[in-house]
Amino acid sequence: MDFLQQSFSVKFEFKVFFTTHLFNKDNPLLQQFLQVEKKSDTPPKIFVVLDEQVVTHHPHLITAIQLYFKQFPALHLVDDMLVIPGGEIAKNDEKLLHRIIEGVNTNKIDRHSYLMAIGGGSLLDLAGYAAAISHRGIRHIRIPTTVLSQNDSGVGVKNGVNYFTKKNFLGTFAPPVAVFNDYHFLTTLQDVDWRSGISEAIKVALIKDAVFFQWLVDNALLLAKRDLKTMHYLVKRCAELHMQHISSGDPFEQGSARPLDFGHWSAHKLEQLAHFHIRHGEAVAIGIALDSVYSHLSGRLSKEAVDTIINLILTLGLDITHPLLEVKDNQSPLIKGLEEFREHLGGKLTITLLNGIGKGEEVHQMDDALIQQASEWLKKRNEELKSK
């Protein structure tokens, strides 16, 4: 046998910052970061892509960004900022991907420049994918503006768009150079976006941190009432747990184990069935409820624990079931979603279930009959609540 072999590793490093009013002229955080990162005497270009909804709710944002960079001649803000629609629908529109790439080309954004994305998780996924495939990778700065993106997707290493109606069928593993979580953006969120983002906190607490889960239970009413100080802690703790996960084991998911996808196999199918009109966080809350009940019915999780989980989801104003996920037989869309998730993982099904609060367990098969029982359990619980 005649062959050559090589092996090498690449070090990735990025920081997650927490601040308020990032583009206030008296806040030096962003400028200081860019100055430290500067690699040459030529002012680096910054091409900004903004979520349309963020601009609507923060009408002075573009002017604030322009005034901020005017203070620093060593940094070159590209005049033409790109404002595009956000939300999951944006990840289904190829034209938006092409518009970002066209902006990179037109403004001569090279690998020493920055594509700065400001918006929710879907826009960050889209812009991150465009950054990763332009010039084989240009520097990407994320500025998440929702609870969900600040505590979960915005601090991860994944980028992607939906294709063939499948969630994140096209994508890359490409970490940003930095993430700036600006808490001020959370103040203008709709209630549904505030609530749905908390589902990812429930997820990571259930599989990794029982103490944090109890904190969520103890502070559920404050979170439901939109107490900002409480949300600050939630966002930072979630980001910390996600970054700990990234640094250990399999950050680029070469294997089939994806504990951070707890509750996601059914959530992805629900989003698809609803044509992405259901927010990701709302779908994840339902997925968490389903897998928690399944964990109980399969003998892994106590009745007390599953009741605590369901009550937490309900206290936060989130749903625990949806008609599109009702199971009538093994040809039901939810059961088919399990097979699609197996394909997404690369052939071997790996699902995280719960052995207890803060204790995840990987399983490689799911019982269709038990999935149906879990679905019916949640439907019955939901009907009981509505009848009160």
pLDDT at 248: 67
Average pLDDT of the segment spanning 364-381: 92
Of 9-18, 36-45, 313-322, 361-370, the least confident: 36-45
pLDDT at 256: 42
Domain boundaries, the chain: 15-188, 191-387
pLDDT in tens, 9-25: 878 788 999 999 999 99
pLDDT at 152: 85
Average pLDDT of the segment spanning 48-66: 96
Average pLDDT of the segment spanning 242-271: 74
End-to-end CA, the chain = 74
Pairing of strands 114-119, 45-51: parallel
pLDDT at 345: 67
* pLDDT over 90 percentage in the chain: 67
Question: Cα angle vertex 94, ends 185, 86, to 5°?
Answer: 15
**86 in Cβ contact with 50 (< 8 Å):** no
pLDDT at 331: 79
pLDDT in tens, 193-216: 999 999 999 999 999 999 999 999
DSSP state of 90: G
The topology under which CATH files domain 15-188 is Rossmann fold (3.40.50)
Residue bearing the bigger pLDDT, 371 or 349: 371
Q: Which of 37, 371, 98, 319 is nearest to 199 (CA)?
A: 319
Q: For the whole prediction, is pTM greater than 0.85? A: yes
pLDDT in tens, 116-136: 999 999 999 999 999 999 999
Is 50 exceeded by the pLDDT of residue 364? yes
pLDDT at 242: 86
> Hey, what amino acid is at 296?
H
pLDDT at 335: 86
The topology under which CATH files domain 191-387 is Dehydroquinate synthase-like, alpha domain (1.20.1090)
Label each residue of 330-358 as H, E or C: CCCHHHHHHHHHHHHHCCCCCEEEEEECC
Banded model confidence at residue 385, pLDDT cuts 50, 70, 90: confident
> Strand, coil or helix: what is 295?
helix
pLDDT at 259: 58
**252 in Cβ contact with 269 (< 8 Å):** no
Kindly report the number of other CB atoms within 10 A of residue 353's CB atom. Answer: 20
Strands (E), the chain: 15-19, 45-51, 76-77, 82-84, 114-119, 139-144, 158-163, 166-173, 178-182, 351-356, 359-363
pLDDT at 268: 87
Is 60 exceeded by the pLDDT of residue 257? no
**6 in Cβ contact with 52 (< 8 Å):** no
Is 90 exceeded by the pLDDT of residue 236? yes
Mean pLDDT of the chain: 90
pLDDT at 384: 86
Q: Which of 189, 360, 213 is nearest to 291 (CA)?
A: 360
Is 60 exceeded by the pLDDT of residue 78? yes
pLDDT in tens, 147-192: 999 998 888 888 999 888 887 889 998 999 999 999 999 999 999 9
